[in-house]
Amino acid sequence: MSKKSPERTPPESLHLPRVGVETHAHLDSREFRDDLPQVLDRAAASGIAAMGQVFLGPEAYQANQALFDSHPEVFFLLGVHPTDADKFTDATLAAMDAAFASDARIKAMGEIGLDSYWKDVPPETQHRIFRAQLALARERDLRVVVHSRDAFAETLAVLDDMGFKDRPLLWHCFGGDEAIARELLSRGWLLSIPGPVTYSKNVELARAVAAVDMDRLVVETDCPYLTPEPWRGKRNEPALAVFTAARIAQLKGLSVEDAWRHMGQTAAKFFGLELPK
Ligand SMILES: [Zn+2]
């Protein structure tokens, strides 16, 4: 007897108009080396009008930005992740500065922040590199996309100390509860919601999303990680953001299409993107 794998809904079958924005993808990772064109095609066919490709530092940017030369729907983020902070030098900052000055596809600095989950880089180093990048973001007046893992209070303290209240800032991969969401919203920032909101055990995150003003929410995959239901267990990719959006729509009492369009417009405004109406 052959074992049949369960049927999974393809993302195209939600029939969403091409007005959505996926704010956070790692399309230069090895998981996409063999089928990037198909991945980008599926994203378009599933309703994604623009997606943010995150380069984890200037070397990754220089090595891989040409992959997206014929894909104007892909915009860029550039920043050194806290778990790479020990490799950060003055030359890194100079290369980032040059990239921001010369490439209009780079729309934000990120992901930058603090990470206490992975213990490889000492907290002092992470703090120093986070602050160095925030200083450049202030100087160049850049949008910032924050990574914070098991380091909520410390991340917030640095951002408050560096004067980021009411500056354009997006909290990537939001996974907190309602109280944490309110702390971020009170500073004028956006929350980017990833796939785990579709997991039935994430009750606190669902409650937080239900409580947040729709104007402050955007959607992301963080692919190839954090795959939403019903594709959990498989590689994540931008097209699957539609399932995360569907869960957000359910929590907000909206149609999937309305939530999709609304979050697409919010993301486009934040990143300064031109989307089809
Ligand atoms: Zn990421």
Span 231-263, pLDDT tens digits: 999 999 999 999 999 999 999 999 999 999 999
Q: What's residue 19's pLDDT?
A: 97
Over the stretch 176-218, which tens digit does the pLDDT of each residue have?
999 999 999 999 999 999 999 999 999 999 999 999 999 999 9
Distance CA 260, CA 48 (A): 9
On whether residue 100 sits in a domain, the answer given is yes
| Mean pLDDT to the nearest integer, 2-27 | 89
* Interatomic CA distance for residues 243 and 275, integer angstroms: 21
Residues near 213 by Cβ (< 8 Å), separated by ≥ 6?
185
Annotated binding site for a divalent metal cation: 24, 26, 111, 147, 172, 222
Asked, for residue 250, whether it belongs to a domain, the answer is yes
Query: Quick check: is 3 in a domain?
Result: no
Q: How many folded domains does the chain comprise?
A: 1
pLDDT score for 1: 47
Task: Answer yes or no: is pLDDT of 116 > 80.
Answer: yes
Distance 162 CA to ligand 1 centre (A): 23
- Give pLDDT, residue 6: 66
Handedness of CA 189, 192, 196, 199 (dihedral sign): positive
User: Is the model's pLDDT at 3 over the cut of 60?
Assistant: no
Residue 276 domain-assigned (yes or no): no
Does residue 151 form part of some domain? Answer: yes
Question: Which residues are annotated as part of the binding site?
Answer: 24, 26, 111, 147, 172, 222
At CA 121, angle to CA 167 and CA 155, rounded to 5?
25
Q: Residue 50 sits in a domain of what CATH number? A: 3.20.20.140
Please check whether residue 35 lies inside any domain of the structure: yes
- 45 CA distance to ligand 1 middle (Å): 23
List the domain range (segments joined by +) for residue 27.
17-271
In a domain, 12, yes or no: no
In a domain, 59, yes or no: yes
Average pLDDT of the residues in 163-180: 98
Report residue 193: phi and psi, to 5°: -100, 125
| Å from CA of 54 to ligand 1 middle | 7
